[in-house]
Structure 1
């Protein structure tokens, strides 16, 4: 399994391409971009193997492969269509589809995340410390805030948004590279942040990007309201995670306008927060 011309790209993302082979309709390969460390790929593979024993639908991780020097993971092919595509094709269904997304997130958080091998607060603390976009005083304020937040070990996805969900008879959650154990409220805060500030997917057309921009608030608020209703967690409980989650997001390879908007939000909220 080494010749790229035997494969066809059926999906593109910031960190990987999804490749299919004409001779195999049952599996796909998530082929990582060259800048992704091998350790990250191996961690996602280990997470994928562990997740098969949990009560959440995910593609089965079948093995590590290499295609023309690029490392990938072979997965079972998930049935259905991306939830984001449904949202774009059925704009009158935005609210029920967003509630469906929240309900699936609740099911993720009902699972024990201890086997993921990495803890949310450790990930966030490391992200804050290396966030060059913020100054030392701002980073220290965020680390103090993070220290006060609760330790939990629920299964958290770390990158939960509509383009990482395959909607079908059984909805499937994709892309567990950022999976970890931690607080569901922190994971929901990350989703809220992505829905508010995240750039459209690379595969989106200009028209789809405009449509998604117009739909952002509806998706975000319907998701959050349903998540709060189903989880019993208050809005403030989720909001307290927003700044640490946002600082960690600044360390990712995201577009400059998104970084500017997130950094501005962090500084504004830090200035508004009571001292101490």
Structure 2
């Protein structure tokens, strides 16, 4: 079966144009069927909940490779918009907080528990000594649970902007739990994630810090919470990310953050 032009590459899959204004997300061979089925189920749940997400048709197979057929959303990612229009960074940062707030106000059943998933990921972070893992697991046990929908990979690269709407994509890491954990993870991704190639490192570092500050200020105001409620989640979220981070630089940055916060 012929597929169209490749339009996206991620850690678990590649995205290609498909027929009838759709795309197909083809997963790499190491991704389990259970994972693909979970993403399909979550995508349908959040679509039915009325969030601005692509509609999912279902799972199919192309040359022995499993994929999800999804509605094609016209537009470009928020990340690419930031690269092209850095002067609009205040607008994009506030929009990110507003979209995440909409997600967190949604409560959906039948999703995996954030707390349980983070425990599994922290135990799988082999770069952390066992005693440090246990310290972080003990910290996690002291943090409050929740029932909010948490995206689990919420950053500008997963927001598609068009003239009429903003669409959130890639729901494979969605969980049910404390929304403050999701915010902590987003902050880590904004600080540690890959930088745009068309911007100098110094300028991008300045933009990162500014973007984080505006995003966080807007989120705290919208949700009537404080930084002290977000901060305790940084260590467990960073430790969990270590189990699946994609580069040595990410790993070094996360370990540095964990060490510094544990000392403080």
TM tier, shorter chain? over 0.9
Match of 1:133 in 2: 127
Q: Does 1:146 align with 2:140?
A: yes
Aligned partner of 1:43 among 6, 21, 38: 38
Shift of 1:215: 2.2
Is the alpha carbon distance of 1:25 and 1:92 closer, same or farther for their aligned partners in structure 2, counting shifts above 3 Å? farther
State the TM-score, normalized to the length of structure 2. 0.94
Shift of 1:213: 4.7
How far apart, in 2, do the equivalents of 1:76 and 1:172 lie? 11
How far apart, in 2, do the equivalents of 1:38 and 1:212 lie? 38
Which segments of 5 or more consecutive residues in structure 1 lack a partner in the other structure? none
Match of 1:207 in 2: 198
Deviates more, 1:150-159 or 1:86-95: 86-95
Q: Does 1:111 align with 2:106?
A: yes
CA RMSD of aligned residues (A): 1.6
Aligned partner of 2:115 among 113, 121, 133: 121
Q: Does 1:58 align with 2:50?
A: no
Match of 1:255 in 2: 247
Q: Deviations over 1:35-61 (max 9, x none)?
A: 222211111011111112113111111
Shift of 1:90: 1.2
Q: Does 1:266 align with 2:258?
A: yes
How far apart, in 2, do the equivalents of 1:90 and 1:18 lie? 25
State the TM-score, normalized to the length of structure 1. 0.90
Match of 1:190 in 2: 185
Partner SS state of residue 22, structure 2: strand
Which segments of 5 or more consecutive residues in structure 2 lack a partner in the other structure? none
Whether contact under 8 Å (1:113, 1:180) holds in the other structure is no
Aligned partner of 2:235 among 232, 243, 262: 243
How far apart, in 1, do the equivalents of 2:147 and 2:118 lie? 15
Whether contact under 8 Å (1:48, 1:176) holds in the other structure is yes
Match of 2:209 in 1: 217
Shift of 1:109: 0.4
Partner SS state of residue 181, structure 1: strand
Partner SS state of residue 198, structure 2: helix
Shift of 1:114: 2.1
When the two structures are aligned, how many residues end up with a matched partner? Answer: 262
How far apart, in 1, do the equivalents of 2:247 and 2:90 lie? 28
How far apart, in 2, do the equivalents of 1:152 and 1:10 lie? 36
Partner SS state of residue 7, structure 1: coil
